[in-house]
Structure 1
Amino acid sequence: MEPMTQAALWFWLPAALVPFGAWISLSSKTTSTTTFGRAVALLGIVGIVSSPWTVPDSPSSAAGHLLGFLLGPAALLLAGIYLVAFSGNVPVGRLPKSDRRLGVMSFIIGFVWFVGMHWWNLTPALNGEVNRYWLVFWPTFLLLLTCLLSGSALSLRMIGDRRATESNVMWFASAFVFLLIALAMTIDGRAVDAETFRYHLWLAGADLLGTAVGLSIAILVFGFIIFLHERALPEPDSIEPPTEEEFEQVSAIVAANIGGGGEDE
Protein backbone atom coordinates (compact mmCIF):
# COMPACT_ATOMS: atom_id res chain seq x y z
CA MET A 1 0.00 0.00 0.00
CA GLU A 2 1.30 3.44 -0.92
CA PRO A 3 2.29 5.85 1.90
CA MET A 4 -0.37 8.38 0.87
CA THR A 5 -3.06 5.70 0.95
CA GLN A 6 -1.89 4.49 4.34
CA ALA A 7 -1.96 8.03 5.74
CA ALA A 8 -5.45 8.60 4.34
CA LEU A 9 -6.72 5.31 5.77
CA TRP A 10 -5.06 5.30 9.18
CA PHE A 11 -4.85 9.01 9.99
CA TRP A 12 -7.13 11.25 7.92
CA LEU A 13 -10.10 8.90 8.01
CA PRO A 14 -10.01 8.70 11.84
CA ALA A 15 -9.51 12.48 11.91
CA ALA A 16 -12.69 12.88 9.86
CA LEU A 17 -14.58 10.54 12.19
CA VAL A 18 -14.06 12.87 15.18
CA PRO A 19 -16.14 15.85 13.93
CA PHE A 20 -18.57 13.48 12.22
CA GLY A 21 -19.21 11.60 15.45
CA ALA A 22 -19.46 14.85 17.41
CA TRP A 23 -22.03 16.16 14.91
CA ILE A 24 -24.11 12.99 15.22
CA SER A 25 -23.93 13.11 19.01
CA LEU A 26 -24.94 16.76 19.26
CA SER A 27 -27.67 16.72 16.62
CA SER A 28 -29.37 13.46 17.54
CA LYS A 29 -32.56 13.27 19.57
CA THR A 30 -32.34 9.64 20.69
CA THR A 31 -30.03 8.09 23.24
CA SER A 32 -28.88 5.33 20.92
CA THR A 33 -27.85 7.75 18.18
CA THR A 34 -26.04 9.96 20.69
CA THR A 35 -24.13 6.95 21.99
CA PHE A 36 -23.28 5.92 18.45
CA GLY A 37 -21.93 9.39 17.67
CA ARG A 38 -19.76 9.39 20.77
CA ALA A 39 -18.44 5.95 19.90
CA VAL A 40 -17.54 7.10 16.39
CA ALA A 41 -15.73 10.17 17.75
CA LEU A 42 -13.88 8.04 20.31
CA LEU A 43 -12.90 5.58 17.59
CA GLY A 44 -11.50 8.46 15.56
CA ILE A 45 -9.46 9.74 18.50
CA VAL A 46 -8.05 6.27 19.11
CA GLY A 47 -7.13 6.03 15.43
CA ILE A 48 -5.32 9.38 15.53
CA VAL A 49 -3.44 8.54 18.71
CA SER A 50 -2.43 5.18 17.22
CA SER A 51 -1.03 6.78 14.05
CA PRO A 52 2.63 6.68 15.24
CA TRP A 53 2.33 2.89 15.12
CA THR A 54 -0.07 2.48 12.20
CA VAL A 55 1.67 4.96 9.87
CA PRO A 56 5.08 5.63 11.45
CA ASP A 57 6.58 6.96 8.20
CA SER A 58 3.89 9.60 7.68
CA PRO A 59 4.64 13.17 8.83
CA SER A 60 1.01 13.40 9.98
CA SER A 61 1.67 10.85 12.71
CA ALA A 62 3.44 13.58 14.71
CA ALA A 63 0.04 15.18 15.32
CA GLY A 64 -1.35 11.92 16.68
CA HIS A 65 1.76 11.49 18.80
CA LEU A 66 1.28 14.93 20.35
CA LEU A 67 -2.44 14.32 20.89
CA GLY A 68 -1.63 11.19 22.86
CA PHE A 69 0.68 13.19 25.11
CA LEU A 70 -1.89 15.94 25.63
CA LEU A 71 -4.91 13.79 26.48
CA GLY A 72 -3.92 13.19 30.11
CA PRO A 73 -3.09 16.74 31.27
CA ALA A 74 -5.83 18.27 29.12
CA ALA A 75 -8.45 15.98 30.68
CA LEU A 76 -7.28 16.96 34.17
CA LEU A 77 -7.37 20.66 33.31
CA LEU A 78 -10.86 20.50 31.83
CA ALA A 79 -12.18 18.41 34.71
CA GLY A 80 -10.69 20.83 37.21
CA ILE A 81 -12.18 23.86 35.47
CA TYR A 82 -15.59 22.18 35.33
CA LEU A 83 -15.56 21.23 39.00
CA VAL A 84 -14.38 24.65 40.14
CA ALA A 85 -16.81 26.53 37.91
CA PHE A 86 -19.94 24.55 38.80
CA SER A 87 -19.22 24.22 42.51
CA GLY A 88 -19.32 27.98 42.94
CA ASN A 89 -22.04 30.61 42.67
CA VAL A 90 -24.03 29.26 39.71
CA PRO A 91 -27.83 29.28 39.44
CA VAL A 92 -28.26 25.82 37.86
CA GLY A 93 -26.37 22.55 37.90
CA ARG A 94 -24.50 23.47 41.06
CA LEU A 95 -22.10 20.85 42.41
CA PRO A 96 -21.23 20.29 46.09
CA LYS A 97 -18.65 22.67 47.51
CA SER A 98 -16.42 19.70 48.30
CA ASP A 99 -15.90 19.25 44.56
CA ARG A 100 -14.08 22.60 44.41
CA ARG A 101 -11.04 21.19 46.22
CA LEU A 102 -11.02 18.20 43.91
CA GLY A 103 -11.24 20.55 40.93
CA VAL A 104 -8.35 22.69 42.18
CA MET A 105 -6.20 19.61 42.73
CA SER A 106 -7.08 18.27 39.29
CA PHE A 107 -6.22 21.60 37.66
CA ILE A 108 -2.90 21.87 39.51
CA ILE A 109 -1.88 18.31 38.62
CA GLY A 110 -2.77 18.86 34.97
CA PHE A 111 -0.87 22.13 34.80
CA VAL A 112 2.18 20.69 36.57
CA TRP A 113 2.06 17.85 34.06
CA PHE A 114 2.18 20.39 31.24
CA VAL A 115 5.08 22.21 32.90
CA GLY A 116 6.89 18.90 33.29
CA MET A 117 6.62 18.38 29.56
CA HIS A 118 8.88 21.40 29.13
CA TRP A 119 11.31 21.33 32.06
CA TRP A 120 11.32 17.66 32.99
CA ASN A 121 11.79 14.42 31.15
CA LEU A 122 8.24 14.40 29.77
CA THR A 123 8.79 16.32 26.53
CA PRO A 124 7.02 14.68 23.56
CA ALA A 125 9.78 13.20 21.42
CA LEU A 126 9.32 11.24 18.21
CA ASN A 127 12.14 9.32 16.52
CA GLY A 128 14.69 10.85 18.87
CA GLU A 129 13.62 14.45 18.21
CA VAL A 130 11.25 16.84 19.94
CA ASN A 131 7.83 16.71 18.33
CA ARG A 132 7.70 19.76 16.07
CA TYR A 133 4.03 20.31 16.87
CA TRP A 134 4.91 20.58 20.56
CA LEU A 135 7.22 23.49 19.74
CA VAL A 136 4.20 25.27 18.28
CA PHE A 137 1.62 24.16 20.82
CA TRP A 138 3.39 24.99 24.08
CA PRO A 139 4.12 28.73 23.57
CA THR A 140 0.76 29.21 21.84
CA PHE A 141 -1.02 27.53 24.74
CA LEU A 142 0.71 29.66 27.37
CA LEU A 143 0.20 32.92 25.48
CA LEU A 144 -3.43 32.19 24.71
CA LEU A 145 -4.08 31.07 28.28
CA THR A 146 -2.73 34.24 29.85
CA CYS A 147 -4.75 36.36 27.39
CA LEU A 148 -7.95 34.44 28.14
CA LEU A 149 -7.40 34.63 31.89
CA SER A 150 -6.75 38.37 31.75
CA GLY A 151 -9.80 38.94 29.56
CA SER A 152 -11.98 36.84 31.86
CA ALA A 153 -10.74 38.70 34.93
CA LEU A 154 -11.44 42.05 33.31
CA SER A 155 -14.90 40.93 32.17
CA LEU A 156 -15.80 39.68 35.64
CA ARG A 157 -14.66 42.95 37.15
CA MET A 158 -16.60 45.14 34.71
CA ILE A 159 -19.70 43.06 33.95
CA GLY A 160 -20.03 40.47 36.70
CA ASP A 161 -22.09 40.98 39.83
CA ARG A 162 -20.20 40.31 43.08
CA ARG A 163 -17.42 38.52 41.24
CA ALA A 164 -14.42 40.31 42.75
CA THR A 165 -13.03 37.12 44.29
CA GLU A 166 -13.23 35.19 41.03
CA SER A 167 -11.69 38.13 39.18
CA ASN A 168 -8.75 38.25 41.57
CA VAL A 169 -8.19 34.52 41.12
CA MET A 170 -8.15 35.01 37.35
CA TRP A 171 -5.63 37.85 37.66
CA PHE A 172 -3.41 35.69 39.86
CA ALA A 173 -3.58 32.76 37.43
CA SER A 174 -2.80 35.05 34.50
CA ALA A 175 0.22 36.48 36.31
CA PHE A 176 1.41 32.96 37.13
CA VAL A 177 1.18 31.85 33.49
CA PHE A 178 2.98 35.03 32.41
CA LEU A 179 5.73 34.18 34.91
CA LEU A 180 6.06 30.74 33.32
CA ILE A 181 6.44 32.39 29.92
CA ALA A 182 9.18 34.64 31.27
CA LEU A 183 10.98 31.67 32.83
CA ALA A 184 10.75 29.63 29.63
CA MET A 185 12.21 32.58 27.71
CA THR A 186 15.25 32.73 29.99
CA ILE A 187 15.78 29.19 31.33
CA ASP A 188 16.42 26.23 29.05
CA GLY A 189 14.04 23.31 29.25
CA ARG A 190 14.97 19.65 29.28
CA ALA A 191 14.81 19.32 25.50
CA VAL A 192 13.86 22.83 24.32
CA ASP A 193 16.26 25.71 24.92
CA ALA A 194 15.15 29.25 25.70
CA GLU A 195 16.12 30.59 22.28
CA THR A 196 13.91 28.06 20.50
CA PHE A 197 11.04 28.85 22.85
CA ARG A 198 11.41 32.59 22.22
CA TYR A 199 11.41 32.04 18.48
CA HIS A 200 8.19 30.05 18.53
CA LEU A 201 6.68 32.43 21.09
CA TRP A 202 7.05 35.36 18.69
CA LEU A 203 5.49 33.27 15.94
CA ALA A 204 2.63 32.31 18.25
CA GLY A 205 2.10 35.96 19.17
CA ALA A 206 2.00 36.91 15.50
CA ASP A 207 -0.50 34.12 14.79
CA LEU A 208 -2.78 35.13 17.66
CA LEU A 209 -2.56 38.81 16.77
CA GLY A 210 -3.33 38.07 13.14
CA THR A 211 -6.27 35.89 14.16
CA ALA A 212 -7.66 38.60 16.45
CA VAL A 213 -7.26 41.29 13.79
CA GLY A 214 -8.84 39.06 11.15
CA LEU A 215 -11.83 38.26 13.36
CA SER A 216 -12.28 41.93 14.22
CA ILE A 217 -12.20 42.94 10.58
CA ALA A 218 -14.64 40.16 9.67
CA ILE A 219 -17.08 41.27 12.38
CA LEU A 220 -16.80 44.92 11.32
CA VAL A 221 -17.34 44.07 7.65
CA PHE A 222 -20.32 41.87 8.50
CA GLY A 223 -21.87 44.59 10.64
CA PHE A 224 -21.22 47.22 7.96
CA ILE A 225 -22.89 45.07 5.29
CA ILE A 226 -25.92 44.53 7.51
CA PHE A 227 -26.06 48.29 8.15
CA LEU A 228 -25.96 49.07 4.42
CA HIS A 229 -28.61 46.46 3.71
CA GLU A 230 -30.94 47.78 6.39
CA ARG A 231 -30.35 51.33 5.22
CA ALA A 232 -31.21 50.43 1.61
CA LEU A 233 -34.57 48.91 2.54
CA PRO A 234 -37.61 51.10 1.77
CA GLU A 235 -39.64 52.61 4.54
CA PRO A 236 -42.47 50.30 5.64
CA ASP A 237 -45.94 51.27 4.53
CA SER A 238 -48.01 53.03 7.16
CA ILE A 239 -51.25 51.32 8.08
CA GLU A 240 -54.56 53.11 7.99
CA PRO A 241 -55.89 54.41 11.32
CA PRO A 242 -58.76 52.45 12.93
CA THR A 243 -62.24 53.24 11.71
CA GLU A 244 -65.17 54.20 13.92
CA GLU A 245 -66.62 50.72 13.54
CA GLU A 246 -63.37 49.14 14.74
CA PHE A 247 -63.24 51.54 17.69
CA GLU A 248 -66.79 50.55 18.67
CA GLN A 249 -65.97 46.84 18.40
CA VAL A 250 -62.87 47.21 20.58
CA SER A 251 -64.78 49.30 23.12
CA ALA A 252 -67.49 46.66 23.35
CA ILE A 253 -64.95 43.88 23.93
CA VAL A 254 -63.09 45.88 26.58
CA ALA A 255 -66.31 46.84 28.34
CA ALA A 256 -67.52 43.24 28.36
CA ASN A 257 -64.27 41.96 29.90
CA ILE A 258 -63.68 44.77 32.38
CA GLY A 259 -67.27 44.89 33.51
CA GLY A 260 -67.27 41.17 34.32
CA GLY A 261 -70.29 40.51 32.17
CA GLY A 262 -71.18 37.04 31.07
CA GLU A 263 -71.46 37.87 27.39
CA ASP A 264 -69.15 35.99 25.06
CA GLU A 265 -67.03 37.84 22.52
Structure 2
Amino acid sequence: MNANQPKTFYRAKILLVDDEQAILHGLKRQLTAQGYDIRTASNGLEALEEIKKNPPELILLDLMMPGMDGLDVTYEVRSKLRNNVPIIVLSAREEEQKKVEALDLGADDYLTKPFGLDELLARIRVALRRAQRKSSEDGSNFSSIGDEHLTIDLTRHQALRDGKELKLTPKQYELLRYLAQNRDKLITHRMLLQSAWGPTYSNETQYLHVYIRQLRQKIELDPANPRYILTEPGLGYRFHLPYPHDEEN
Protein backbone atom coordinates (compact mmCIF):
# COMPACT_ATOMS: atom_id res chain seq x y z
CA MET A 1 0.00 0.00 0.00
CA ASN A 2 1.32 3.46 -0.84
CA ALA A 3 0.44 6.86 0.51
CA ASN A 4 -2.42 7.28 -1.97
CA GLN A 5 -4.27 4.06 -1.12
CA PRO A 6 -7.30 3.88 1.20
CA LYS A 7 -6.63 4.15 4.93
CA THR A 8 -6.85 0.88 6.84
CA PHE A 9 -7.27 2.28 10.37
CA TYR A 10 -9.28 5.44 9.84
CA ARG A 11 -9.03 7.94 12.71
CA ALA A 12 -6.92 5.69 14.92
CA LYS A 13 -5.42 7.87 17.66
CA ILE A 14 -1.64 8.19 17.43
CA LEU A 15 0.60 10.09 19.84
CA LEU A 16 3.68 11.52 18.11
CA VAL A 17 6.55 12.39 20.47
CA ASP A 18 9.60 14.31 19.22
CA ASP A 19 11.51 17.36 20.43
CA GLU A 20 12.26 18.54 16.87
CA GLN A 21 9.37 20.76 15.87
CA ALA A 22 9.98 20.41 12.13
CA ILE A 23 9.68 16.61 12.36
CA LEU A 24 6.70 16.87 14.70
CA HIS A 25 4.72 19.16 12.41
CA GLY A 26 5.79 17.40 9.20
CA LEU A 27 4.76 13.94 10.41
CA LYS A 28 1.55 15.28 11.91
CA ARG A 29 0.58 16.80 8.57
CA GLN A 30 1.41 13.62 6.62
CA LEU A 31 -0.34 11.23 9.00
CA THR A 32 -3.39 13.45 9.38
CA ALA A 33 -3.70 13.39 5.58
CA GLN A 34 -3.80 9.58 5.86
CA GLY A 35 -6.82 9.75 8.16
CA TYR A 36 -5.14 9.32 11.54
CA ASP A 37 -6.04 11.37 14.62
CA ILE A 38 -2.64 12.78 15.62
CA ARG A 39 -1.77 14.19 19.04
CA THR A 40 1.71 15.55 19.69
CA ALA A 41 4.14 15.97 22.58
CA SER A 42 7.55 17.65 22.41
CA ASN A 43 9.10 15.91 25.42
CA GLY A 44 8.72 12.87 27.65
CA LEU A 45 6.74 14.55 30.42
CA GLU A 46 4.21 15.96 27.96
CA ALA A 47 3.90 12.50 26.43
CA LEU A 48 3.09 10.83 29.76
CA GLU A 49 0.49 13.48 30.59
CA GLU A 50 -1.15 13.01 27.18
CA ILE A 51 -1.16 9.21 27.60
CA LYS A 52 -2.90 9.51 30.97
CA LYS A 53 -5.37 12.14 29.78
CA ASN A 54 -6.17 10.81 26.32
CA PRO A 55 -4.84 7.24 25.83
CA PRO A 56 -3.61 6.71 22.26
CA GLU A 57 -3.87 3.55 20.17
CA LEU A 58 -0.22 3.83 19.11
CA ILE A 59 2.84 5.88 20.08
CA LEU A 60 5.55 7.07 17.68
CA LEU A 61 8.41 7.87 20.03
CA ASP A 62 11.71 9.61 19.34
CA LEU A 63 14.52 8.07 21.38
CA MET A 64 16.84 11.05 21.81
CA MET A 65 15.12 13.88 23.66
CA PRO A 66 16.46 16.18 26.38
CA GLY A 67 15.40 15.37 29.93
CA MET A 68 13.11 12.35 29.86
CA ASP A 69 14.14 10.49 26.71
CA GLY A 70 12.40 7.73 24.78
CA LEU A 71 13.84 4.99 26.99
CA ASP A 72 12.43 6.67 30.10
CA VAL A 73 9.03 7.08 28.46
CA THR A 74 8.95 3.43 27.37
CA TYR A 75 9.84 2.31 30.89
CA GLU A 76 7.15 4.53 32.45
CA VAL A 77 4.48 3.36 30.01
CA ARG A 78 5.22 -0.33 30.45
CA SER A 79 6.29 -0.56 34.10
CA LYS A 80 4.47 2.27 35.85
CA LEU A 81 1.33 2.85 33.78
CA ARG A 82 1.03 -0.86 32.85
CA ASN A 83 -0.08 0.22 29.39
CA ASN A 84 0.41 -2.16 26.44
CA VAL A 85 -0.20 0.45 23.74
CA PRO A 86 2.03 -0.29 20.70
CA ILE A 87 5.22 1.79 20.72
CA ILE A 88 7.31 2.36 17.59
CA VAL A 89 10.61 4.05 18.40
CA LEU A 90 12.26 6.44 15.95
CA SER A 91 16.04 6.46 16.12
CA ALA A 92 19.10 7.67 14.26
CA ARG A 93 21.48 5.07 12.84
CA GLU A 94 24.13 5.79 15.49
CA GLU A 95 21.65 5.03 18.30
CA GLU A 96 21.76 1.26 17.73
CA GLN A 97 22.30 0.32 21.39
CA LYS A 98 19.50 2.58 22.62
CA LYS A 99 17.21 0.98 20.05
CA VAL A 100 17.95 -2.45 21.53
CA GLU A 101 17.39 -1.10 25.05
CA ALA A 102 14.01 0.33 24.02
CA LEU A 103 12.93 -3.00 22.55
CA ASP A 104 14.07 -4.79 25.71
CA LEU A 105 11.97 -2.36 27.74
CA GLY A 106 8.87 -3.26 25.74
CA ALA A 107 8.81 -1.16 22.56
CA ASP A 108 7.15 -3.07 19.70
CA ASP A 109 9.12 -1.91 16.68
CA TYR A 110 11.56 0.68 15.40
CA LEU A 111 12.31 2.87 12.41
CA THR A 112 15.72 4.30 11.61
CA LYS A 113 15.83 7.93 10.50
CA PRO A 114 15.53 9.00 7.77
CA PHE A 115 12.58 6.84 6.72
CA GLY A 116 9.96 7.09 4.00
CA LEU A 117 6.25 7.67 4.54
CA ASP A 118 5.28 4.34 2.97
CA GLU A 119 7.57 2.45 5.36
CA LEU A 120 6.15 4.33 8.34
CA LEU A 121 2.56 3.65 7.25
CA ALA A 122 3.32 -0.05 6.84
CA ARG A 123 4.78 -0.28 10.37
CA ILE A 124 1.77 1.59 11.78
CA ARG A 125 -0.68 -0.78 10.06
CA VAL A 126 1.14 -3.86 11.35
CA ALA A 127 1.31 -2.51 14.91
CA LEU A 128 -2.38 -1.54 15.00
CA ARG A 129 -3.45 -4.82 13.43
CA ARG A 130 -1.37 -6.79 15.91
CA ALA A 131 -2.86 -4.87 18.84
CA GLN A 132 -6.40 -5.50 17.60
CA ARG A 133 -5.72 -9.20 17.10
CA LYS A 134 -4.11 -9.54 20.51
CA SER A 135 -7.07 -7.81 22.13
CA SER A 136 -9.52 -10.24 20.56
CA GLU A 137 -7.30 -13.24 21.32
CA ASP A 138 -6.94 -12.25 24.98
CA GLY A 139 -10.69 -12.56 25.36
CA SER A 140 -10.99 -15.95 23.66
CA ASN A 141 -9.99 -19.56 24.23
CA PHE A 142 -6.93 -19.06 22.07
CA SER A 143 -5.19 -22.45 21.89
CA SER A 144 -3.22 -22.58 18.64
CA ILE A 145 -1.32 -20.41 16.19
CA GLY A 146 -0.62 -21.35 12.61
CA ASP A 147 -1.36 -21.45 8.92
CA GLU A 148 -1.83 -24.18 6.31
CA HIS A 149 1.70 -25.55 6.90
CA LEU A 150 2.62 -24.83 10.52
CA THR A 151 0.52 -25.22 13.68
CA ILE A 152 1.68 -24.45 17.21
CA ASP A 153 -0.65 -26.14 19.69
CA LEU A 154 -0.40 -24.15 22.92
CA THR A 155 -2.55 -26.63 24.85
CA ARG A 156 -0.61 -29.78 23.96
CA HIS A 157 2.76 -27.98 23.83
CA GLN A 158 3.59 -29.29 20.39
CA ALA A 159 4.14 -28.07 16.85
CA LEU A 160 3.02 -29.69 13.60
CA ARG A 161 4.15 -29.14 10.03
CA ASP A 162 1.70 -30.26 7.37
CA GLY A 163 -0.17 -32.21 10.04
CA LYS A 164 2.85 -34.16 11.31
CA GLU A 165 4.21 -33.56 14.79
CA LEU A 166 7.67 -32.03 14.90
CA LYS A 167 10.21 -33.46 17.32
CA LEU A 168 11.17 -30.32 19.21
CA THR A 169 13.23 -30.17 22.36
CA PRO A 170 11.62 -28.32 25.30
CA LYS A 171 13.85 -25.28 24.67
CA GLN A 172 13.07 -25.25 20.95
CA TYR A 173 9.35 -25.34 21.70
CA GLU A 174 9.69 -22.58 24.29
CA LEU A 175 11.48 -20.32 21.79
CA LEU A 176 8.88 -21.04 19.11
CA ARG A 177 5.98 -20.46 21.50
CA TYR A 178 7.39 -17.15 22.73
CA LEU A 179 8.02 -15.90 19.20
CA ALA A 180 4.62 -17.04 17.92
CA GLN A 181 2.71 -15.47 20.80
CA ASN A 182 4.41 -12.19 19.88
CA ARG A 183 3.84 -12.51 16.15
CA ASP A 184 5.09 -9.59 14.06
CA LYS A 185 6.77 -8.02 17.08
CA LEU A 186 10.55 -7.63 17.06
CA ILE A 187 11.88 -9.77 19.92
CA THR A 188 15.45 -8.96 20.97
CA HIS A 189 18.13 -11.55 21.63
CA ARG A 190 18.03 -10.69 25.33
CA MET A 191 14.25 -11.16 25.56
CA LEU A 192 14.41 -14.57 23.88
CA LEU A 193 17.34 -15.77 25.96
CA GLN A 194 15.69 -14.69 29.21
CA SER A 195 12.36 -16.28 28.26
CA ALA A 196 13.93 -19.69 27.56
CA TRP A 197 16.99 -19.83 29.84
CA GLY A 198 16.66 -17.05 32.40
CA PRO A 199 18.58 -13.81 33.10
CA THR A 200 22.00 -15.44 33.49
CA TYR A 201 21.98 -16.28 29.76
CA SER A 202 20.92 -12.82 28.53
CA ASN A 203 24.18 -12.18 26.64
CA GLU A 204 24.67 -15.63 25.07
CA THR A 205 23.64 -14.59 21.56
CA GLN A 206 25.72 -17.25 19.79
CA TYR A 207 23.94 -19.86 21.88
CA LEU A 208 20.63 -18.47 20.65
CA HIS A 209 21.72 -18.42 16.99
CA VAL A 210 22.43 -22.16 17.14
CA TYR A 211 18.95 -22.90 18.53
CA ILE A 212 17.23 -20.67 15.98
CA ARG A 213 19.12 -22.37 13.15
CA GLN A 214 18.05 -25.79 14.46
CA LEU A 215 14.46 -24.59 14.87
CA ARG A 216 14.35 -23.29 11.30
CA GLN A 217 15.55 -26.66 10.04
CA LYS A 218 12.47 -28.22 11.61
CA ILE A 219 9.69 -25.71 10.94
CA GLU A 220 10.65 -23.95 7.71
CA LEU A 221 9.85 -25.32 4.27
CA ASP A 222 13.07 -23.66 3.07
CA PRO A 223 15.39 -22.94 6.04
CA ALA A 224 17.74 -20.88 3.84
CA ASN A 225 14.84 -18.53 3.04
CA PRO A 226 12.76 -18.56 6.23
CA ARG A 227 9.08 -17.72 6.07
CA TYR A 228 8.29 -17.75 9.78
CA ILE A 229 11.33 -16.78 11.85
CA LEU A 230 12.80 -13.63 10.32
CA THR A 231 16.13 -12.13 11.37
CA GLU A 232 16.42 -8.48 12.38
CA PRO A 233 20.21 -8.00 11.99
CA GLY A 234 21.94 -7.04 15.21
CA LEU A 235 18.65 -6.90 17.13
CA GLY A 236 16.77 -10.18 17.28
CA TYR A 237 13.99 -12.05 15.51
CA ARG A 238 10.43 -11.56 14.36
CA PHE A 239 7.86 -14.34 13.92
CA HIS A 240 5.84 -13.64 10.80
CA LEU A 241 2.55 -15.36 10.14
CA PRO A 242 0.23 -13.59 7.69
CA TYR A 243 -3.15 -12.73 9.13
CA PRO A 244 -6.16 -13.80 7.06
CA HIS A 245 -6.89 -11.28 4.30
CA ASP A 246 -3.68 -9.32 4.95
CA GLU A 247 -3.29 -8.87 1.23
CA GLU A 248 -6.66 -7.12 1.10
CA ASN A 249 -5.52 -4.46 3.57
Q: Which has the higher contact order (CA 8 A, sep 6+)?
A: 2
In the superposition, the TM-score normalised over structure 1's length comes to: 0.27
Structure number with bigger Rg: 1
TM-score where L is the length of structure 2: 0.29
Higher-strand-fraction structure: 2
Higher helix share: 1
